[in-house]
Amino acid sequence: MFEKYIKVIQNQSFTLSQDRLPTELLIEEDGDLSVYYAPFDYINHDAKIVICGITPGFQQAILALEEASKQLRQGATAEAAKLAAKNIASFGGPMRSNLIRLLDYIGIAQKLNIGSCSQLFGSKSNLVHYTSALRYPVFKSLKNYSGTPSMVSKPILRKQLENYLLPELKQLNSSTLIVPLGPKVEEALSLAVNTGSINQDQVLGGLPHPSGANAERIAYFLGEKPANRLSAKTNPIKIDAAKEEVIAKVACI
């Protein structure tokens, strides 16, 4: 897919100040849903852990396109440009710090024999594969897609799961751990389990989504906010059960 859009990427400038992705990168659309290309194709086949989000957002897409464009103009190969783009853009922005805290809290750093999961975005990036259930950026009414309509039942979205996510997961080692970020991604991984692409034992579900908009759930999960100070929108019983289960699963690996 990267080669198809290489000239567009190389010859354009990308900045976070723009309000949408170039129409030349539009893959397909259906009603208010649109799918655009951004360079998230690279797969780390030797990864020990996979971090799986819903889909790259606008900010991540721009960061990836900007880096790929820079790499290509500097003479990098397509494969090197894809790797650089994915490393710099995956879970970029404020989401990254929340993700690191959550992974460290459940014991992933110890399992990988590293000091902190912050190293997965630096010196230990060889241990991790960053991906999304929907590989290429999806927008609903030109806003970041957040899981509705269901990616498993909506044809334009399920196509991405079947064409990219399931084959991608099959290429990884059967012992590779997979961390879904939020219930929508867990639903996609259930499809992967049911189709034999991965095993249920690989999936470490239950983490709150690391988005800044999910700050209260994250704070409670990390023990930074007591139950009696939570708003009505946060269910501590559900979070406690999910936390207990994922920490126990990590401890037994």
Query: Is pLDDT above 90 for 169?
Result: yes
| pLDDT at 88 > cutoff 90 | no
Q: What is the pLDDT of residue 179?
A: 96
Domain 2-209 maps to which CATH number in 1.10.3480, 3.30.1380, 3.40.470, 3.20.14?
Answer: 3.40.470
Compute the mean pLDDT over every residue in the chain, rounded to the nearest whole number. 94
pLDDT at 134 (0 to 100)? 98
State the pLDDT at residue 213: 86
Sheet of 26-30, strands arranged across: 26-30, 33-36, 138-140, 143-144
Tokens of residue 230, six digits = 């939570």
What number is the average pLDDT over the span 13-28?
91
Each residue's pLDDT tens digit, 119-161: 998 899 999 999 999 999 999 999 999 999 999 999 999 999 9
**pLDDT value, residue 191:** 97
Please give the average per-residue pLDDT across 66-77, as a whole number.
94
Enter the pTM of the model: 0.90
Percentage of residues in the chain having pLDDT higher than 70: 99
Q: What per-residue confidence (pLDDT) applies to 26?
A: 97
pLDDT tens per residue across span 182-233: 899 999 999 999 999 999 999 999 999 898 889 999 999 999 999 999 999 9
How confident is the model at residue 155, as a pLDDT?
Answer: 97
pLDDT of residue 240: 97
> Any long-range contacts for 244-248 (C-beta under 8 Å, 24+ apart)?
245/205, 245/206, 246/106, 246/204, 246/205, 246/206, 246/207, 247/106, 247/107
Q: Which amino acid is at 89?
A: A
Instruction: Please tell me the distance from the alpha carbon of residue 240 to that of residue 193, in angstroms, as a whole number.
Output: 25
Domain ranges of the chain: 2-209
pLDDT of residue 16 exceeding 90, the answer is no
How long a stretch of residues is the chain? 253
pLDDT in the model for residue 251 = 92
Q: What's residue 140's pLDDT?
A: 97
Q: Rounded to the nearest 10 degrees, how much is the dihedral formed by the CA atoms of 115, 116, 117, 122? A: -70
Question: Does residue 253 register a pLDDT over 90?
Answer: no
- Indicate the range of 42-51, 91-100, 157-166 predicted with least confidence: 91-100
149 cis-preceded (ω within 30 degrees of 0)? yes
> Has residue 11 got a pLDDT over 80?
yes
Q: Is 46 in contact with 174 (CB distance < 8 Å)?
A: no
Mean pLDDT of all residues in 63-78: 94
pLDDT surpassing 80 at residue 92? no
CA distance 55 to 62: 13
**What does the H/E/C string look like for 145-203?**
CCCCCCCCCCHHHHHHHHHHHHHHHHCCCCCCEEEECCHHHHHHHHHHHHCCCCCHHHE
